[in-house]
Structure 1
Amino acid sequence: MSSFKTVMDVFKLLDKSNCRACNEKTCLAFAAAVFQGKRPLSDCPRLDAETLRQYDGFVEKKPTISDGMDDFVAQLKKQIRQIDLAEAARRVGGVFANGRLTLKVMGKDFHIYSDGKMASEIHVNPWVAIPLLIYVMESAGLPVSGEWVPFRELKNGAERNGLFVQRCEQPLKKVADTYTNLFEDMVHLFNGQRVENLYEADISIVLYPLPLVPILICYWKPDEGLESSLNIFFDRTVEKNLGVDPLYSIIAGIVQMFEKISLRHGVPGA
């Protein structure tokens, strides 16, 4: 009986046709779902009975979202080489010139070259690189609607909402409670926009992790014995412009970034 150590162990078994018979957009997305325990391998109709007998239902260890990320990025870069970056630029809100696609990630220029290489003025870890590449390949390019919704109301968001609150909203609230310059940094370092009177929050900031993927961060200060609160909202179009899984990944990456910024400024407990 065989088992999987990484996402790529699953991916190697597939025919890479991206036929969508499993209802995932790509074979790579299906492999990730199998490795994370969300889908059985038998959901791929193109695998033979012997392969299914040998592998179906088994992983070597309980997977975490970080497992196999570098391999995942490498495979996505290979897929990037097969798409028209000029067409993608028009669709995703970027600019194509001199053989590269340039778009804004948190207000900073990020470049993707025709050979799959990436470059940026800021460090972008796999938590951000993976959703960025998926965005370029799969975004529907819908214009932002202006309708804000919480993570749990997005398609497939309810089942992941507990993890989103634990890994994204709660850690960012902790940073906001202790790092007084957090929201100023969002505005001045990452091209954030202050907005007023949304959900009666004390502070409301809109950030753009990707050109067509705005996020709204609302923070309520402690008041009369009540502790502070922080919630993150998303434009309704994110369901087709990115999707829930890569959305979770990029928000988790952003939260990690702000945690590191607060630590560099000596904020205790961040």
Structure 2
Amino acid sequence: MPLDNPLEVYKLLPKSNCKLCGLASCLAFASAIIKGEKHLTECPHLDRKFIEEIEGKIVRQLTQEEQLKNVLEPLKKEISRVDFSKSAERLGAGLSGKKLSIRCLGKDFTVDSEGNVISDCHLNVWVITPLLNYIIQGAGNDPTGKWVPFRELSKETVWNSFFHQRFEKPLKLLLDAHPDLIEDMIYIFSGKPVKAHFDSDISLALYPLPKVPILICYTKLTEDLESKINVFFDETAGTNLHIDSIYRLCMGLLVMFRKISLRHLGSPRDGVSVI
């Protein structure tokens, strides 16, 4: 019988919570095994014969990034049916021969008729997937300048919860720890400071896709007050990109912001590209 969830693996562990594997509990260890982050040999209480018996039964879960890569193939097939000549003006893109050129976060991305994406930047699957969906699904509606929160784009509670817990909250913590990240967003991603919105200290507009702008409003952490972040989208965003792609696009941004915070950009703006 395959072991494809943490509880099934947990049943086979000693349940001592000894922490010798480096994790807080046997359940956490079981979860890490399913994710491929830990190996059974890291539990000192399991003998080799037992490990050999059950190792082949463990079914590792795909990471979110691996799942996204699996989504790319059907998207590429859909791209092959798109008329690029009609799409260029609609999407705010350029056309060179049979290739679309789209500006993403201040960088040029070229997409051919087979869905292959070319850029001088490192290609982030969290951004590539929404980019292809933008070409396939985008209505091409121009932004109106009216900013709305994510919850007004999605009526599905689950997406709203995901967005707050997995994007807004981690981004706030990241900005609290690395206040200079706002300046980096401006320099690396061609962010545009705009007049402060919604009582924030900083309001910054990013253009991850030509017609899907994002507004990040951040109030700095002080001795007396907790920091605050609000993320907004143009009211037309949902017509130019499906809600799940908007969510994934934001997760792609978070991945890039985290890379910047870890690198600290070296000596003066060393030109490292993180897309």
Under TM normalisation by the shorter chain, which class is it? 0.7 to 0.9
**Runs of 4+ with deviation above 6 angstroms:** 60-64
Q: Supply the distance in 2 between the matched residues of 1:116 and 1:67 (Cα, whole angstroms).
A: 18
Unaligned residue ranges in structure 2 (runs of 5+): 5-58, 266-275
- Does residue 212 of the first structure (1) align with residue 211 of the second (2)? yes
Spell out the pairing of 1:36-185 with structure 2 (5 A cutoff). Answer: 65-66=64-65, 68-185=67-184
Question: Who is 2:255 aligned against?
Answer: 256
Q: Based on CA coordinates, which of the two structures has the bigger radius of gyration?
A: 2
Question: Who is 1:186 aligned against?
Answer: 185
Cα shift at 1:68: 2.6
RMSD over aligned CA atoms reads 2.3
What secondary structure sits across from 2:218 in the alignment? Answer: strand
Cα shift at 1:63: 8.1
Q: Supply the distance in 2 between the matched residues of 1:162 and 1:155 (Cα, whole angstroms).
A: 11
Q: Supply the distance in 2 between the matched residues of 1:64 and 1:167 (Cα, whole angstroms).
A: 15
Q: Supply the distance in 2 between the matched residues of 1:155 and 1:163 (Cα, whole angstroms).
A: 11
Cα shift at 1:125: 1.9
Task: Give the counterpart letter for 2:221 in structure 1.
Answer: P
Q: Deviations over 1:118-163 (max 9, x none)?
A: 1012122221111110100110110101111111111335431111
Spell out the pairing of 1:192-203 with structure 2 (5 A cutoff). Answer: 192-203=191-202
Task: Give the counterpart letter for 1:87 in structure 2.
Answer: K
Q: Indicate conservation of the 8 Å contact 1:156/1:244, yes or no.
A: no
Q: Supply the distance in 1 between the matched residues of 2:175 and 2:184 (Cα, whole angstroms).
A: 11
Give the percent of matched residue pairs that are identical in Structure 1 and Structure 2: 43
Question: Who is 1:27 aligned against?
Answer: none
Question: Who is 1:242 aligned against?
Answer: 241
Q: Supply the distance in 2 between the matched residues of 1:251 and 1:230 (Cα, whole angstroms).
A: 14
Q: Supply the distance in 2 between the matched residues of 1:71 and 1:162 (Cα, whole angstroms).
A: 25
Q: Indicate conservation of the 8 Å contact 2:115/2:132, yes or no.
A: no
Cα shift at 1:182: 0.8
Q: Supply the distance in 2 between the matched residues of 1:122 and 1:131 (Cα, whole angstroms).
A: 16
Question: Who is 2:220 aligned against?
Answer: 221
Question: Who is 1:49 aligned against?
Answer: none
Q: Supply the distance in 1 between the matched residues of 2:62 and 2:82 (Cα, whole angstroms).
A: 30
Q: Indicate conservation of the 8 Å contact 1:151/1:157, yes or no.
A: no
Q: Indicate conservation of the 8 Å contact 1:80/1:137, yes or no.
A: yes
Task: Give the counterpart letter for 2:91 in structure 1.
Answer: V
Cα shift at 1:224: 5.1
Q: Supply the distance in 1 between the matched residues of 2:153 and 2:100 (Cα, whole angstroms).
A: 29
Cα shift at 1:62: 8.3
Task: Give the counterpart letter for 1:134 in structure 2.
Answer: N
Q: Supply the distance in 2 between the matched residues of 1:142 and 1:225 (Cα, whole angstroms).
A: 43
What secondary structure sits across from 2:189 in the alignment? Answer: coil
Task: Give the counterpart letter for 1:250 in structure 2.
Answer: L
What secondary structure sits across from 2:226 in the alignment? Answer: coil
Cα shift at 1:173: 1.1
Question: Who is 1:53 aligned against?
Answer: none
What secondary structure sits across from 1:162 in the alignment? Answer: helix
Q: Indicate conservation of the 8 Å contact 2:154/2:160, yes or no.
A: no
Cα shift at 1:80: 0.7
Cα shift at 1:61: 9.3
What secondary structure sits across from 1:82 in the alignment? Answer: coil
Cα shift at 1:180: 2.7
TM-score of the two chains, using structure 2 as the length reference = 0.71
What secondary structure sits across from 1:114 in the alignment? Answer: coil
Between 168-177 and 66-75, report the one with greater CA deviation: 66-75
Q: Supply the distance in 2 between the matched residues of 1:207 and 1:149 (Cα, whole angstroms).
A: 15
Q: Supply the distance in 2 between the matched residues of 1:218 and 1:157 (Cα, whole angstroms).
A: 23
